[in-house]
């Protein structure tokens, strides 16, 4: 049907002279129907013919003018490759039609209330987002719709998910052609992949507007029938999300009938009419005030337009003159702007290169009709200004991009961290995959600047987000990367002669006008420096700081260049770099010659950061180090006389600390201000640049390389050690490290820690040999200084291991924590508390690597040691026992887990009390283990008890409380109390999504559990959507072999099996079994369970022989770890007996069975070698 508005009721004004204000005192109610409907039938009761918008509403609200908007709303027209374009087209038409109608009626400031059914609500959200952006002079009339909108009633609108299958099923009842399309796959399968993402994008666009609107969500309470099945078209969670300052209500009707009323006394109608009456009463006053504010804001925006720069222009759509729009106003539409650097105020030149780049990324429309991702490479020697050029391009074109992001590509780790930040901004997980995925799905225009991609071994193509969207700029010193420039490349050489002179004299602050001698001296400097921007900036800064004048600069520069060339061959630098390095040497000599505390600190800081990564060096690395030293000194000053005496002796024995001077001061002289003054000195010499609001600074790659290369080999070894010690001084170990702020700090340390350890590896001698133990014993009595050195090395290793473990880099963490454990064991023995803490930390990294046997061995040793030292009922002993019980459970050792956890909880109740946090955690773990023993009732009761206590102590939304709710929902599922389980698990999922993000591992785990419940409820389509999306997100955020991903694959196979898609189910199950066997072992209960599900799948297909084979393998493996006493073993045994009975051979088949080829006996069950087990 054609799009358009229809008047169902008009408001009459009795006075002939009614003015615009009178007309705006009434209200426009605009109805927008959903899919498979039209503008009349959608709201009309089929039996009575009553159209409540026309027959009931005007009588209840006389001041309301009622309109209905119609458009082509067949499901097949929406769920196609042009889904997003279709919505946008109708949304634009709605805004234009409604604005025109209100303008003609003279009521363009009248309040608007939208009444939306189904996907009509999506149209309205898109329309209001569009209207809210129409503030420029040419289209500001479209802005009136957003300003005038007071409220929206959403009836069954899918805000985060739409059941595509249900829409098609409804339409297909009237279309045999569409039924054929669905059965063949057609557009339905395509729709599954992108409709959810489109909804989320529209929701994100609408979210900032919600606080200005009154919102009422309604959901259907009666399932719709699709012939062979029934279900909700839009689930409650999607139709009525729980949000602040919104209203919610269910309607006792199906999706179609929820907006059709034949009686005014029905409860649902009365709820709706009451809301509309209230809105219509309050709207005129609120919207009138809103218009006052909006008109004032628009007037201010117009007054700021740059007439003097742009003058006046004509527009073909406007006969009058209009001013060009202010660039600041345009830039305000940019949502995210993160270029590599702030654009320098004195940036000049490169107009020709900028023109080439502009034409490559924004070609005339008639030259390219195909949308594709555009990539452009900017390459050139170091110091030529590549990064600054790209930052300037981003700034100049900011209004063209909804988002500008930077990927710091100097290493794989920095690139991953850059994408992880983008993923977090996009509301997904804090991972590389999440960032790439979000960009690939983003419909708004974006620019990605991949900066400093110099390493020839870098997989540059792996940094490009998938899809055809976006522009990508690459800066590199490697000309071979030009091949990645699908839209072109350009080499950035030195500046032009005039540009170089301008930059030098401007940076040197030489006053205008410049005479011939000034220009001649300047041109000589620029020529000598190869017209390189970085060298010119350094020279100009030196002149500005009065280190030399314009005419003397080359004498100093040539002097330092000669000294550099006289250095040993091993310290020689390339010719191109030599020019810039000599400029840096000049500045360094100036610093050293000042001989002040600040200049000395500046030199030492430069030596230190030469061994860090050159980008985003947080200032609080140094200020935290100072504060931690202050805290340690203050703590020692408050000790007893005996402790202070012992400390003084240790200080005399200890070698001088390998730290910079600003960290080697006494309590009175230590102050973070010294760091900031030294950094300002470096900044004033253009050796560092601040990153702005992030309280961090960066070095140009050439400055960074020079800072390290200027040192000889002995100095490098010393300052690399000082850099590492300074870094570790800033790190706190538990329990002093709690809080998100500390976690973010350690995350940002990672690239600097990597760089430091590459230059200064931690090496601790192996004292486990007989000779080593003798050396250590001797040192205890005669070489205490050696012991103190070993202590400092172990402390550094422990901090490094802690940071790596927290960031999930368990391999590196294990190396360093193993060093710590070995030293502590040999020095103090297993029964020392520090040794026990180190062993538990190392066990945690073994967990991360899936080396559970080693983790359990360490944890057992800690339990034994703590039992001996503290006693079996001490809190520290009980905590170690609880951790060991969890390890047994995770490893599938359910017998050991149950025995230990029952003992632990009994002791904790007696010692700590039933409501102690530690007791509740142990009880929650025990409940999970009881569930693994199929003792579901006991499991549920324990989780209920823990939940009650945690809700009182922590609140209903605390993450620990949510963990217990998750466990309780699973117990209810096992007890077949499905509706209760679903309600609880949905709350867990929504709350985790809100607090942690959609792709956090805990959120994805809740999603998988919710899908599992939906499977049991028969909501197979919804479960499939959840699992397909969740598995994809899990692979992005975690890995293909992560336990959560494998569990999701197993559940998806169950969905396929119940849908009769046996081939897909079998393929997925076999792949999941292989991955489980590789990652967790053949005899692990998870692998056994997967084999059991394979047997059930074969049974469903009446492949009894294969079912028997799979069942036999499952039983054999179950007996290895679960043992015959476990209920699951008995269940498998019973099923195997039943299957064998079905296979009982007839007499004439006996001879055939005896000759069966043994090679085919297990052809469906693949065997694998035992491997290390990887888990969480």
Q: What mean pLDDT comes out for the span 1091-1105?
A: 90
Choose between 117 and 788: higher pLDDT.
117
What's the pLDDT score for residue 21?
52
CA 784 to chain centre: 49
What is the H or E stretch that residue 806 is in?
helix 784-806
The alpha carbon dihedral of 301, 302, 303, 304 has a sign of: positive
What's the pLDDT score for residue 405?
94
Q: What mean pLDDT comes out for the span 28-53?
A: 92
Choose between 467 and 204: higher pLDDT.
467
Q: What mean pLDDT comes out for the span 167-186?
A: 46
Residue 393 has pLDDT above 70, yes or no: yes
Is residue 68 a contact partner of residue 259, using CB atoms and an 8 Å limit? Answer: no
Instruction: Sort strands 696-698 and 617-618 into parallel, antiparallel or unpaired.
Output: antiparallel
- Bond preceding residue 552 cis, omega within 30 of 0: no
Give the model's confidence band at 77: pLDDT under 50 very low, under 70 low, under 90 confident, else very high: low
Give the model's confidence band at 719: pLDDT under 50 very low, under 70 low, under 90 confident, else very high: very high
pTM of structure? 0.61
What's the pLDDT score for residue 772?
64
402-406, 993-997, 1070-1074: least confidently modelled range: 993-997
Give the model's confidence band at 363: pLDDT under 50 very low, under 70 low, under 90 confident, else very high: confident
Name the phi and psi angles at 406, rounded to 5.
Answer: -120, 135
- Bond preceding residue 735 cis, omega within 30 of 0: yes
| Structural domains of the chain, with CATH | 4-296 (3.40.50.1820), 335-363+371-493 (3.40.50.300), 494-594 (no CATH), 596-761 (no CATH), 765-852 (no CATH)
pLDDT by residue (tens digit) across 47-70? 999 999 999 999 999 999 999 999
Instruction: Sort strands 214-220 and 246-251 into parallel, antiparallel or unpaired.
Output: parallel
Choose between 1172 and 932: higher pLDDT.
932
Is residue 452 a contact partner of residue 410, using CB atoms and an 8 Å limit? Answer: yes
309-323, 576-590, 753-767, 846-860: least confidently modelled range: 309-323
Q: Across all residues in the chain, what is the average pLDDT?
A: 81
Residue 873 has pLDDT above 60, yes or no: yes
Choose between 781 and 294: higher pLDDT.
294
What's the pLDDT score for residue 590?
83
Name the phi and psi angles at 212, rounded to 5.
Answer: -95, 0
Give the model's confidence band at 1152: pLDDT under 50 very low, under 70 low, under 90 confident, else very high: very low
What is the H or E stretch that residue 433 is in?
helix 432-441
Residue 852 has pLDDT above 50, yes or no: yes
Residue 948 has pLDDT above 50, yes or no: yes
Give the model's confidence band at 1155: pLDDT under 50 very low, under 70 low, under 90 confident, else very high: very low
Which among 665-679, 749-763, 1114-1128 has the top mean pLDDT? Answer: 749-763
Give the model's confidence band at 137: pLDDT under 50 very low, under 70 low, under 90 confident, else very high: confident
Residue 75 has pLDDT above 70, yes or no: no
* Distance from C-alpha of 588 to C-alpha of 429, rounded to nearest angstrom: 44
What's the pLDDT score for residue 227?
65
Q: What mean pLDDT comes out for the span 730-742?
A: 75
The alpha carbon dihedral of 841, 847, 850, 853 has a sign of: positive
453-467, 607-621, 773-787, 1047-1061: least confidently modelled range: 773-787
What's the pLDDT score for residue 943?
95
What's the pLDDT score for residue 860?
94
Name the phi and psi angles at 231, rounded to 5.
Answer: 175, 170
* Distance from C-alpha of 255 to C-alpha of 221, rounded to nearest angstrom: 8
pLDDT by residue (tens digit) across 1000-1041? 778 888 999 999 999 999 888 888 888 888 888 778 766 777
Name the phi and psi angles at 814, rounded to 5.
Answer: -65, -40
648-652, 665-669, 954-958: least confidently modelled range: 648-652
What is the percent of the chain where pLDDT is above 70? 81
What is the percent of the chain where pLDDT is above 90? 33
Residue 313 has pLDDT above 70, yes or no: no
């Amino acid at each position: 049907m054609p799009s358009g508005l229809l008047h169902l009721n008009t408001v009459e004004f009795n006075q002939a002279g009614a003015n615009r204000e009178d007309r705006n005192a009434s209200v426009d109610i605009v109805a927008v129907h959903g899919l498979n409907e039209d503008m009349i039938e959608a709201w009309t009761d089929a039996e009575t013919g009553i159209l409540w918008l026309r027959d009931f509403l005007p009588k209840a609200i006389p001041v309301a003018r009622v309109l209905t908007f119609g458009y082509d709303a067949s499901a097949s027209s929406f769920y196609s490759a042009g889904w997003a374009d279709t919505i946008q087209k109708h949304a634009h038409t709605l805004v234009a039609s409604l604005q025109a109608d209100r303008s003609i009626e003279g009521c363009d400031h009248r309040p608007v209330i939208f009444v939306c059914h189904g996907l009509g609500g999506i149209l309205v959200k898109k329309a209001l987002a569009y209207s809210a952006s129409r503030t420029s002079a040419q289209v500001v009339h479209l802005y009136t719709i957003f300003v005038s909108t007071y409220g929206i009633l959403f009836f069954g609108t899918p805000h985060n998910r739409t059941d595509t299958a249900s829409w098609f099923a409804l339409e297909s009842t009237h279309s045999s052609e569409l039924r054929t399309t669905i059965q063949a796959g057609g557009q339905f399968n395509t729709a599954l992949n992108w409709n959810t993402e489109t909804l989320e994008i529209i929701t994100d666009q609408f979210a900032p507007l919600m606080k200005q609107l009154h919102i009422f969500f309604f959901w259907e309470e009666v399932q719709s029938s699709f012939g062979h099945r029934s279900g909700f078209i839009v689930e409650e969670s999607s139709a009525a999300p729980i949000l602040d300052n919104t209203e919610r209500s269910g309607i006792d009707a199906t999706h179609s009938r929820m907006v059709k009323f034949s009686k005014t006394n029905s409860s649902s109608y009365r709820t709706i009419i009451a809301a509309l009456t209230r809105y219509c009463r309050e709207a005129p006053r609120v919207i009138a005030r809103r218009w006052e504010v909006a008109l004032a804001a628009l007037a201010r925006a117009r007054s700021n337009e740059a007439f003097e720069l742009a003058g006046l222009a004509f527009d073909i759509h406007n006969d009058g003159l209009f001013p060009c729009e202010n660039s600041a106003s345009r830039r305000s539409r940019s949502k995210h702007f993160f270029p590599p650097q702030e654009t320098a105020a004195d940036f000049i030149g490169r107009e020709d290169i900028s023109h080439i780049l502009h034409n490559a990324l924004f070609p005339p429309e008639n030259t390219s009709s195909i949308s594709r991702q555009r990539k452009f490479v900017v390459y050139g020697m170091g110091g030529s200004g590549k990064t600054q050029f790209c930052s300037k391009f981003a700034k100049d074109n900011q209004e063209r991009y909804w988002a500008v992001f930077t990927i710091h590509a100097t290493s794989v780790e920095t690139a991953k961290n850059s994408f992880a930040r983008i993923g977090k901004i996009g509301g997904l997980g804090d991972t590389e995959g999440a960032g790439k995925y979000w960009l690939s799905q983003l419909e708004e225009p974006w620019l990605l600047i991949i900066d400093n991609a110099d390493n020839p071994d870098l997989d540059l193509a792996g940094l490009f987000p998938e899809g055809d969207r976006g522009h990508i700029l690459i800066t590199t010193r490697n000309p071979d990367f030009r091949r990645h420039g699908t839209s072109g490349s350009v080499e950035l050489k030195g500046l032009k002669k005039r540009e170089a002179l301008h930059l030098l004299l401007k940076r040197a602050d030489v006053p205008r006008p410049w005479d011939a001698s000034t220009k001649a001296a300047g041109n000589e400097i620029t020529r000598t420096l190869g017209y390189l921007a970085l060298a010119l900036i350094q020279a100009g800064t030196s002149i500005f700081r009065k280190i030399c004048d314009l005419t003397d600069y080359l004498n100093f520069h040539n002097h330092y260049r000669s000294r550099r060339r006289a250095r040993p061959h091993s310290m020689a630098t390339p010719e191109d770099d030599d020019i810039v390095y000599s400029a840096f040497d000049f500045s360094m000599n100036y610093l050293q010659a000042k001989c002040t505390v600040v200049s000395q600190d500046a030199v030492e800081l430069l030596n230190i950061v030469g061994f860090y990564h050159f980008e985003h060096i947080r200032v609080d690395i140094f200020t935290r180090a100072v504060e931690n030293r202050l805290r340690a000194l203050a703590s020692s000053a408050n000790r007893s006389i005996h402790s202070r005496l012992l400390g003084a002796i240790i200080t005399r024995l200890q070698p001088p600390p390998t730290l910079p001077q600003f960290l080697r001061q006494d309590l009175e002289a230590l102050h973070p201000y010294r760091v900031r003054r030294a950094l300002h000195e470096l900044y004033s010499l253009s050796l560092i640049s601040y990153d702005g609001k992030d309280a961090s600074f960066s070095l140009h790659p050439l400055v960074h390389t020079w800072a390290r290369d200027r040192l000889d080999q002995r100095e490098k070894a010393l300052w690399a050690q000082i850099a590492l010690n300074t870094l570790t001084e800033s790190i706190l170990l538990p329990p002093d490290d709690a809080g998100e702020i500390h976690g973010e700090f350690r995350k940002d340390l990672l690239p600097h820690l990597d760089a430091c350890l590459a230059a200064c590896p931690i090496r601790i001698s192996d004292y486990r040999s007989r000779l080593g133990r003798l050396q250590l014993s001797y040192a205890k009595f005669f070489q205490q200084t050696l012991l103190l050195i070993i202590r400092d090395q172990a402390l550094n290793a422990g901090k490094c291991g802690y940071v790596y473990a927290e960031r999930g880099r368990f391999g590196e963490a294990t190396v360093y924590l193993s060093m710590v454990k070995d030293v502590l064991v040999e020095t103090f023995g297993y029964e020392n508390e520090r040794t026990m803490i180190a062993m538990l930390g190392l066990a945690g990294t073994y967990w991360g690597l899936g080396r559970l046997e080693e983790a359990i061995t360490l944890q057992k040793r800690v339990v034994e040691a703590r039992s001996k030292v503290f006693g079996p009922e001490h809190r520290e002993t009980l905590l170690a026992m609880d951790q060991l019980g969890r390890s047994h459970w995770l490893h599938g050792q359910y017998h050991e887990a149950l025995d230990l956890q029952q003992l632990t909880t009994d002791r904790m109740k007696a010692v700590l009390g039933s409501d102690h946090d530690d007791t509740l955690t142990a009880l929650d773990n025990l409940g999970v283990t009881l569930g693994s023993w199929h003792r579901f009732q006991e499991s549920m009761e324990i989780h209920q008890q823990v939940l009650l206590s945690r809700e009182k102590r922590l609140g209903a939304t605390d993450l620990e409380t949510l963990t217990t709710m998750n466990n309780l929902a699973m117990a209810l599922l096992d007890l077949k109390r499905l509706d209760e389980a679903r309600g609880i698990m949905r709350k867990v999922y929504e709350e985790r999504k809100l607090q942690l993000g959609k792709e956090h591992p805990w959120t994805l785990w809740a999603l998988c559990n919710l899908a599992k419940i939906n499977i049991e409820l028969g909501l197979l389509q919804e479960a499939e959507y959840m699992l397909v999306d969740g598995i994809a997100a899990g692979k992005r955020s975690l890995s293909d072999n992560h336990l959560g991903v494998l569990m999701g694959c197993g559940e998806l196979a169950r969905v396929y099996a119940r849908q009769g898609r046996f081939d897909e189910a079998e393929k997925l199950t076999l792949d999941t079994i292989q991955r489980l066997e590789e990652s967790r072992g053949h005899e692990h209960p998870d692998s056994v369970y997967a084999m059991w599900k394979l047997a059930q799948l074969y049974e469903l297909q009446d492949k009894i022989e294969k079912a028997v084979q799979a069942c036999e393998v499952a039983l054999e493996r179950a007996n290895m770890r679960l043992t015959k006493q476990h209920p699951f073993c008995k269940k498998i045994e019973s099923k195997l007996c039943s299957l064998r009975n079905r296979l009982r051979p007839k007499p004439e088949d006996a001879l055939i069975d005896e000759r069966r080829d043994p090679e085919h006996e297990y052809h469906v069950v693949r065997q694998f070698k035992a491997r290390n087990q990887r888990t969480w």
